[in-house]
Each structure stands twice: as structure tokens, then as C-alpha cells.
Amino acid sequence: MGSATGPVVRRAELAQQDGRTLVFRPKGRWRGMPFPPGSRVLAKVESGTATLMAELDVLGVLADGSVSTRQPFVVQRFAKRRFHRTAVDLPLVVGEQACRVVDLSGCGLLAQCPQGTSVMKQDIVSAQLFLETGNPIALTLYAVRVTVTPEGQKLIGFDFMEVREMDQDRIIGYVLRQERRRLQALRKL
């Protein structure tokens, strides 16, 4: 994804989608924002069990406040219920801050970060995930939840906004192998 030339909408619901257009309804504080025709908006659009992340070219605003956009050429779709998640302990670098991944799936992760980490809910950050083998995986992450533990650590739930398909396949394969190992160990008890 490039940089958006218009607003960033982090909460919206899909109103309509066909082969040429995508219409979304901004939610929360993004309702009523100006969306000039011809501008570009970076939007996180929820639709049932799927989340769409895309840069969208604005065609106009409809009478009900919905935003009509040109159908994106490429849309990242992550159906959250489709991916299995498992507990892990992997290094993650968010910006320049070293964190640990404690839970991983094909569409997101839970990271434990030091107290001074500046990531807040709804931030979009670049990160590198280090699996046990291979090159690090470059990710663009969206912070959906931030909590602070009694020890002062931050637990940050991230959705993947941008990940190459082959890297997502590596993550999914890693999660499945970890789960297989865990189940095999339980059977031996």
C-alpha cells in the first residue's frame, strides 16, 4: 500500500460491493468526515467475518453519508474465523522496538512489548516478524487492542494490514506445525 492522500478511516462497514464500486459507511468519529471526490482514502472496512484493507479512490458521498469508491484493484481480505491461532514465543521488531509475539495466526498476532512502547490503539505500524527459520517477514500492522499488564508490559493485538501472500503462507505453515507439535506432546502424556 502506498500512502493515502485523503483521510484514514479505521472503522467502517461494507454497504455495497460490485465489480466496479465499493460503498462503505464510516463508523464512530469517522462519520461525517469530508471525502472529496478524486481523493484517496485508506480504509479498514468490516463485512461479516471478513475485514478489507485498501486504498480507495473516492467517487463521492451518498445522501446517507456512505462513501462511494472505485473498486480497488487489490484488496487485502482477512477472514478472521478462517485462521487457526497458537501460542508462540517469537521476536518481533515494531519500528525499532523489540517485542515478543505470544500468539500468532494467519491474520494477526498478539505482541508483548516493553512499557515505553509508543504504539496506541488504532496505530498503523511497520514491523518485522522473525520465525525460527528463513528471512524476517515485513508486515504492516494495525493495533486493534492495547492493554497493560500489572508488570507494566504492553500487550498489543495487531491485525495484518499488509503481508505478502508467500509470507502469509509461511506464517500459516508455522502456526500449523507448532499446533501439531503441541498436540503430539499432549498425546504422549
Residue 129 has pLDDT above 90, yes or no: yes
Cell of 175: 502456526
Nearest one of 148, 157, 163 to 122, comparing CA atoms: 157
Residue 4 has pLDDT above 50, yes or no: no
Residue 181 has pLDDT above 90, yes or no: no
Rg (alpha carbons) of the chain, rounded to whole number: 18
pLDDT of residue 188: 82
pLDDT of residue 124: 84
- The residue ranges of every structural domain in the chain are 8-79, 83-188
pLDDT of residue 72: 63
pLDDT tens-digit profile of 23-33? 888 887 777 77
Round to whole Å and give the CA distance between 107 and 63: 34
Round to whole Å and give the CA distance between 53 and 36: 20
% of the chain surpassing 70 pLDDT: 84
Q: Which fold has domain 83-188?
A: Thrombin, subunit H (2.40.10)
